[in-house]
Amino acid sequence: MDSKNYNWSYKDLLFGVKRTSTKPNLIKLEQDPNNVRLRVLPTETPLKKRKILAEKIDNEDVTILSGSNLTLNNAKKKKQQQENQKDEEVLEKAQYEKIQHLKKLNRIYTWGEDIPNPFIDFSELKLPEVLIKNLTTFQIKEPTPIQMQSIPILLAKRDLLACAPTGSGKTLAFILPVVLNYLKLKKSFQRRLFAIVLEPTRVLARQTYMNFVKTCHNLPITCAFLDDNRFPEKANIIISSPKRLIFSWNQPDFDKTRLKSLRWLIVDESDRLFDHSDSSGQNFKDQLDAIIHECNGKFLKLAFFSATFSYELEDWCKNKLNDLATICIGSRNSANSSVIQQLIFTGDEHGKITALRTLVDSKLDPPALIFTGTKERAGQLFAELSSLFKNRPIQLMSSDLTDRERDTLIEQFRSGQIWILICTEMLGRGVDFSGVNMVVNFDLPTSVVEYIHRVGRTGRAGRKGFAITYFTEQDMNIVRPIATVIHQAGFEVPEYTLTLNKVSKKSKKKMKKFAPKRSTFGSVLKWEKIKKVKVKKHELKPSVLKRKVVEKSDEKCANNLVKKKKRIKNAKKAINEA
Ligand SMILES: Nc1ncnc2c1ncn2[C@@H]1O[C@H](COP(=O)(O)OP(=O)(O)OP(=O)(O)O)[C@@H](O)[C@H]1O
């Protein structure tokens, strides 16, 4: 039996490639004329019935061995066994080749011992009816490549490090196995804390929480989003930022024994978490160590997901975890292949405004996200575009807004009420705006990782997207890596950008802390005017400030509010003096 004789047919999916058979794990033996399927009848079957059956089954691949035929001598039996073993080996080989072929087609690369095979169809997971219904409601019919591979690994309860492009469905790739593993628990264990999902920001934690809620609709699972300091009492799955989680554990009424039952710790956007240093100097590695120290249950498993690969994270996982499985979909650190990318030289900052104006006037395909390097520049650009295009719904997302205002803006952008959203790195990662048609990098991102995530806000869930990146004379020392990524994805870039000097380690480090200095553009005064109005609107009276502090019962929040108030006061003073 030669596996090459199999004539599998594959169909292209939104994300990947799938074999068309509805029973993917069964090799169709009938396709090979050399195959013989054996059917053994018990000896007690009457001779008459045996004869009738033999005549009835007019099928070459079925041989009926009657009871009397089973009285083979030992030599014949041995031969038969050898042949059976050979057949099994051939079948195994065919199965192995089929899986390898499927992995190759979907660009699924794995490392680790005994990696479970990817699945092809959700029906193979034997999902409960309710779950199937929930997925279908959200148009989820076929698994994406990361889901094909990560779900079987997590169902096998293995530690995992997974890297897959932006918008490729990583969230569901951990939600589904966590939910399925939970549903498999004995009823007596089902009332306990089962999984914690860590997200780098509140916006992302809320988004992932919403995805859990949608997936678990009508299922006996309680999910909670840790938005204040209280660790939810009855939740089975908690979604939080690491900082907020640690803070909630430090509350006097927190019962640490609850963490003993924890089975899963999922870290999303994991490379950013490893990279990130907050103002207190504490980085995520320390926070994660603290979290793992507390969650030291015997059965705890860890899974890390990200769109960009970090060697630091890989080293950490290899050192700390046993029996780690690693997945990478496509090439490491490359932009999503559904996005058409363009790199445009504009000379200087005024050139950028001219180019953007032409773009908005002619071929802007809303909804669009425009990224700037700092929140000040985002404000200036907002002022500039709002005065140029008075009738277009343009908005500004800024860290000065309250959580609620940010949530509202995101919802309005998702629903199409806002056409152009100007923002900073704050929305660069993880946020799922599945309908975004265009991303404009008004300011060149300072690293390839930043570029990949920003550009990944479009071209999600298999849709096409378009990304334009501007650069000026001032960016000549940092443009090369980004030009290389765009070029490697098969798009044209100005030839000279590929041969410019490499970015030194020192300036890479510096750029992580401070945005590159850029000349101003348009009229700064316009933004100052708008800001003044905004400052008035958001001005925090002492009574409001006090109430907010009490509401949040969070000393740090209070400090931040006081600092914010001081900043606003200084800004007002500066404006008045000017
Ligand atoms: N199997 C599927 N079929 C169709 N759509 C899917 C499937 N899985 C996920 N999606 C959709 O794809 C979109 C992107 O998914 P998700 O946000 O999980 O991407 P991601 O890989 O986490 O991206 P990022 O790295 O940018 O965070 C979502 O809108 C989600 O609903």
Nearest ligand 1 atom to the CA of 453 is: 26
Query: Which atom of ligand 1 has the smallest separation from the CA of 434?
Result: 29
Q: What is the pLDDT of residue 15?
A: 62
The best mutation among 139, 172, 176, 452 to test binding of ligand 1, ranked by most ligand atoms within 8 Å of the C-beta, falls on 172
pLDDT for res 18: 63
Paired strand residues for 65: 40
Dist. CA 94–CA 103, nearest whole Å: 14
What ranges make up the beta strands (E) of 330-411?
Answer: 339-347, 368-371, 394-396
Cα 167 to averaged position of ligand 1 atoms, centre (Å): 5
Q: Give 172 Cα–ligand 1 centroid separation in angstroms.
A: 7
State the helix-helix crossing angle for 349-361 and 375-388, rounded to 10 degrees: 50
User: What amino acid is encoded at 440 in this protein?
Assistant: V
Q: Measuring from atom 1 of ligand 1, which residue has the nearest CA? A: 143
Q: Quickly list DSSP for 135-169.
A: HHHTT--S--HHHHHHHHHHHTT--EEEE--TTS-
If one counts every other C-beta atom within 10 angstroms of the C-beta of residue 19, the result is 16
Whether the per-residue pLDDT at 555 is higher than 50: the answer is: no
Average pLDDT, the chain: 82
Cα 105 to middle of ligand 1, angstroms: 20
Average pLDDT over residues 471-475: 92
Residue 51 pLDDT class (50, 70, 90 cuts): low
CATH class name, domain 14-333:
alpha beta
Tell whether omega for the bond before 252 is within 30 degrees of 0, i.e. cis. no
Q: Quote the ipTM score.
A: 0.99
The CA-based angle 256-293-281, given to 5 degrees, is 110
pLDDT for residue 29 is more than 60: no
The predicted structure's pLDDT at residue 33: 47
**Which of 136, 140, 211, 306 has most ligand 1 atoms within 8 Å of its beta carbon, as the pocket-test mutant?**
140
Q: What is the mean pLDDT of residues 421-444?
A: 92
How far apart are the CA of 526 and the centre of ligand 1, in A? 39
Note whether 429 and 171 are within 8 A (CB).
no
Closest Cα to atom 30, ligand 1: which residue?
169
Residue 467 · residue 340 · CB < 8 Å: yes
Query: Whole-angstrom Cα distance, residue 239 to residue 170?
Result: 15
Give dist(CA 34, CA 54) in Å, integer: 19
Provide the 8-state DSSP code for 344.
E
Distance (Å, rounded) from C-alpha 197 to C-alpha 547? 31
Specify whether the CB–CB gap between 145 and 102 falls below 8 A: no
Distance 150 CA to ligand 1 centre (A): 14
Residue 332 has pLDDT above 60, yes or no: yes
pLDDT of residue 409: 92
- Domain 339-527 sits in which CATH superfamily? P-loop containing nucleotide triphosphate hydrolases (3.40.50.300)
Q: Comparing 185 with 62, which gets the higher pLDDT?
A: 185
pLDDT greater at residue 175 or residue 505: 175
SS3 call for 224: strand
What residue owns the CA closest to ligand 1's atom 14?
A: 167
The neighbour count for residue 104, using CB atoms within 10 Å, is 11
Which percentage of the chain shows pLDDT scores above 70? 75
Question: Which residues, judged by CB distance below 6 Å to any ligand atom, belong to the binding site of ligand 1?
Answer: 14, 138-140, 142-144, 147, 164, 166-172, 307, 430, 432, 434, 456, 460-461
Q: Which is more confidently placed, 119 or 243?
A: 119
Q: What φ, ψ does residue 420 adopt, rounded to 5°?
A: -125, 125
First-to-final CA distance of the chain = 86
| Residue 526 pLDDT > 70 | no
- Checking if the pLDDT of 498 tops 70, the result is yes
Kindly give the residue spans of alpha helices, DSSP state H, lying in 393-463. 403-414, 448-455
Helix or strand holding residue 254 (H, E): none
Q: How far is the CA of 141 from the centre of ligand 1 (A)?
A: 12
User: Is the distance from CB of 266 to CB of 223 less than 8 angstroms?
Assistant: no
The CB density around residue 75, as the number of other CB atoms within 10 Å, is 8
Q: Does residue 299 sit in helix, strand or coil?
A: coil
Write phi, then psi, for 509 (nearest 5 degrees). Answer: -60, -45
Atom 3 in ligand 1: residue holding the nearest Cα: 140
Distance 169 CA to ligand 1 centre (A): 3
Residues recorded for the chain = 578
What distance in Å separates the CA atoms of residue 466 and residue 438, rounded to the nearest whole number? 5
DSSP bridge partners of 371: 423, 441
Compute the distance from residue 434 Cα to the ligand 1 centre, in Å.
Answer: 8
* CA-nearest residue, atom 10 of ligand 1: 169
Tell which atom from ligand 1 comes closest to the C-alpha of 461. 12
Sign of CA dihedral 447, 452, 453, 458: positive
Assess contact for 86 and 35: CB atoms under 8 A: no
pLDDT in tens, 252-292: 888 888 888 999 999 999 887 666 544 444 577 788 888 88
Is pLDDT above 90 for 396?
A: yes
Instruction: Output the pLDDT for position 578.
Output: 56
Identify the CA nearest to 147 among candidates 119, 110, 116.
119
Mean pLDDT of 534-559: 46
- The pLDDT assigned to 575 comes to 63
Could you report the per-residue pLDDT of 134-144, keeping only the tens digit for each? 999 989 999 99
Asked whether the predicted pLDDT for residue 212 surpasses 80, the reply is yes
Q: 492, 324 in Cβ contact below 8 A? A: no
Q: Whose CA is nearest to atom 13 of ligand 1?
A: 461
Give 431 Cα–ligand 1 centroid separation in angstroms. 10
Distance 410 CA to ligand 1 centre (A): 17
Tell if the pTM clears 0.90, that is, is over it. Answer: no
